[in-house]
Amino acid sequence: MNNEQVLQPDNVELIKNSRVGTSTKSSIAVDDPATGHVIGHVPDLTPRQILRAIESAETAFYKWRDVPLRERCEKLFRWYQLMHEKEEELAGILTSEQGKPLSESRGEIRYAASYIQWYAQPSLQDQGSVLPYSSIDESMIVITEPVGVCAAITPWNFPAAMITRKVAPALAAGCTMLVKPALETPLTAIAIAELAIQAGIPEGVLSIVTGDGEAIGKIFSESAVVRKLSFTGSTRVGRLLMASSASTIKRLSLELGGNAPFIVCETADVERAVQGAIQSKFRNAGQTCVCANAFYIHTKVYDEFTEKFIACVNQLMLGNGKNESVDIGPLINENALEKVEQIVADAVKKGAVIACGGERWVNSERWYYPTVLLNADSSMRCVNEEIFGPVAPIVRYNDETALLEELRQQQTGLAAYFYSQNLGQVNRLSRALEVGMIGVNSGVISDAAVPFGGVKSSGIGREGGRHGIEEYLETKYIKLSY
Ligand SMILES: NC(=O)C1=CN([C@@H]2O[C@H](COP(=O)(O)OP(=O)(O)OC[C@H]3O[C@@H](n4cnc5c(N)ncnc54)[C@H](OP(=O)(O)O)[C@@H]3O)[C@@H](O)[C@H]2O)C=CC1
Ligand SMILES: O=C(O)CCCC(=O)O
Q: What pLDDT, in 10s, does the model give residues 189-225?
A: 999 999 999 999 999 999 999 999 999 999 999 999 9
Nearest-CA residue for ligand 2 atom 8 is 446
Residue 250 exposed, middle or buried by CB count within 10 Å (0-12, 13-18, 19+)? buried
Other CB atoms within a 10 A radius of the CB of residue 470 amount to 18
Closest C-alpha among 254, 207, 246, 255 to residue 224: 246
User: Which of 178, 237, 293 to mutate for ligand 1's pocket (most ligand atoms within 8 Å of CB)?
Assistant: 237
| Cα 117 from chain centroid (whole Å) | 18
Q: Which of 141, 190, 153, 197 is nearest to 171 (CA)?
A: 197
Q: Strand locations in 79-205, DSSP E?
A: 129-131, 138-146, 149-153, 176-180
Residue nearest to atom 6 of ligand 2 (CA): 288
Domain with CATH 3.40.605.10 in the chain: 3-257+457-481
Instruction: Compute, in angstroms, the gap from residue 253 CA to the centroid of ligand 1.
Output: 15
Task: Write the burial class of residue 136 (CB in 10 Å: 0-12 exposed, 13-18 middle, 19+ buried).
Answer: exposed
Cα 446 to averaged position of ligand 2 atoms, centre (Å):
8
Name all residues whose Cβ lies below 6 A of ligand 1. Answer: 153-157, 180, 182-183, 213-214, 217, 232-234, 237, 240-241, 255-257, 289, 386, 388
pLDDT digit string, tens, across residues 9-52:
554 555 554 545 444 568 999 999 999 999 999 999 999 999 99
CA distance 109 to 338: 29
What is the topology classification, in CATH, of domain 3-257+457-481?
Aldehyde Dehydrogenase; Chain A, domain 1 (3.40.605)
Work out the widest C-alpha separation in the chain, in whole angstroms: 80
In eight-state DSSP terms, residue 368 is B
> Relative to the alpha carbon of 158, which ligand is closest?
2
Is the ipTM reported for this complex over the cut 0.95?
A: yes
Q: How far is CA 233 from CA 96, 158, 176, 335, 410, in A?
A: 21, 10, 21, 15, 19
* Cα of 53 from ligand 2 centre, angstroms: 27
What confidence score (pLDDT) does residue 21 get?
46
Q: What is the pLDDT of residue 10?
A: 53
User: What tens digit of pLDDT does each residue of 114-156 get?
Assistant: 999 999 999 888 779 999 888 999 999 999 999 999 999 999 9
- The per-residue pLDDT for 228 is 98
Substitution candidate for ligand 2 out of 259, 283, 446 with most atoms within 8 A of CB? 446
Q: Which residues of 444-463 are buried (b: 16+ CB within 10 A; e: fewer)?
A: ebbebebebbbebbbbbbbb
pLDDT: which is higher, 293 or 125: 293
Residue 105 burial by CB count (10 A; 0-12/13-18/19+): exposed, middle or buried?
Answer: buried
| CB of 474 closer than 8 Å to CB of 145 | yes
Q: Is the pLDDT of residue 365 over 90?
A: no
For residue 131, the CA-to-ligand 2 centroid distance in Å is: 39
pLDDT of residue 127: 79
* Distance (Å, whole) CA 76 – CA 115: 10
How many C-beta neighbours within 10 Å does residue 72 have?
23
pLDDT value at residue 107: 98
Query: What is the atom index within ligand 1 of the atom nearest the CA of 153?
Result: 41
* Residue 295 reports pLDDT greater than 80: yes
Task: Say how many residues make up the chain.
Answer: 482
Q: What is the pLDDT of residue 19?
A: 47
Phi then psi for 398, rounded to 5 degrees?
-135, 0
Confidence of residue 292 (pLDDT cuts 50, 70, 90): very high
The boundaries of every CATH 3.40.309.10 domain in the chain are 260-411+415-447
Q: 98 in ligand 2 pocket by Cβ < 6 Å?
A: no
Find the 289 Cα to ligand 2 centroid distance in Å: 6
Fold of domain 260-411+415-447: Aldehyde Dehydrogenase; Chain A, domain 2 (3.40.309)
pLDDT value, residue 2 = 34
pLDDT of 4: 36
**Which residue, among 7, 110, 3, has the nearest Cα to 321 in the 3D structure?**
7
Q: Ligand 2 within 6 A of 32 CB? A: no
CA 316, distance to chain mean position in Å, is: 24
The helix or strand, by DSSP H or E, that contains position 117, with its residue range, turns out to be: helix 102-119
* Confidence band of 363 (pLDDT split at 50, 70, 90): low
Q: Kindly tell me if the per-residue pLDDT of 252 is higher than 70.
A: yes
What integer pLDDT is reported at residue 3 of this predicted model?
Answer: 33
Q: State the distance from the centre of ligand 1 to the C-alpha of 121, rounded, in angstroms.
A: 31
Q: Report whether residue 446 contacts ligand 2, using a CB cutoff of 6 Å.
A: yes
Judged against a pLDDT cut of 50, whether residue 8 lies above it is answered with no
44 Rama class: left (phi>0) / alpha (psi -120 to 50) / beta: beta
Atom of ligand 1 nearest to the CA of 258: 1
For Cα atoms 391, 393, 398, give the angle at the middle one, nearest 5 degrees: 160
Q: Which residue has the higher pLDDT, 414 or 364?
A: 414
In the prediction, which pLDDT does 186 show? 97
> Residue 9: its pLDDT value, please?
56
Q: Where are the beta strands (DSSP E) in 273-357?
A: 292-298, 353-356
Exposed/middle/buried for residue 480 (C-beta within 10 Å: 0-12, 13-18, 19+): exposed
Average pLDDT, the chain: 94
Give catalytic residues, as residue numbers. Answer: 255
Read off the pLDDT of residues 442-465 as tens digits, 9 standing for 90 and up: 999 999 999 999 999 999 999 999
**According to the model, what pLDDT value does residue 13 have?**
57
Answer whether residue 364 shows pLDDT above 80. Answer: no
Per-residue pLDDT tens over the stretch 302-330: 999 999 999 999 999 999 999 999 999 99
Q: Give every strand in the sheet of 226-232, ordered side by side.
A: 206-208, 176-180, 149-153, 226-232, 251-255, 459-460
Q: What is the pLDDT of residues 57-99, one digit of tens each?
A: 999 999 999 999 999 999 999 999 999 999 999 999 999 999 9
Among protein residues, the one with the nearest Cα to ligand 2's atom 7 is 446
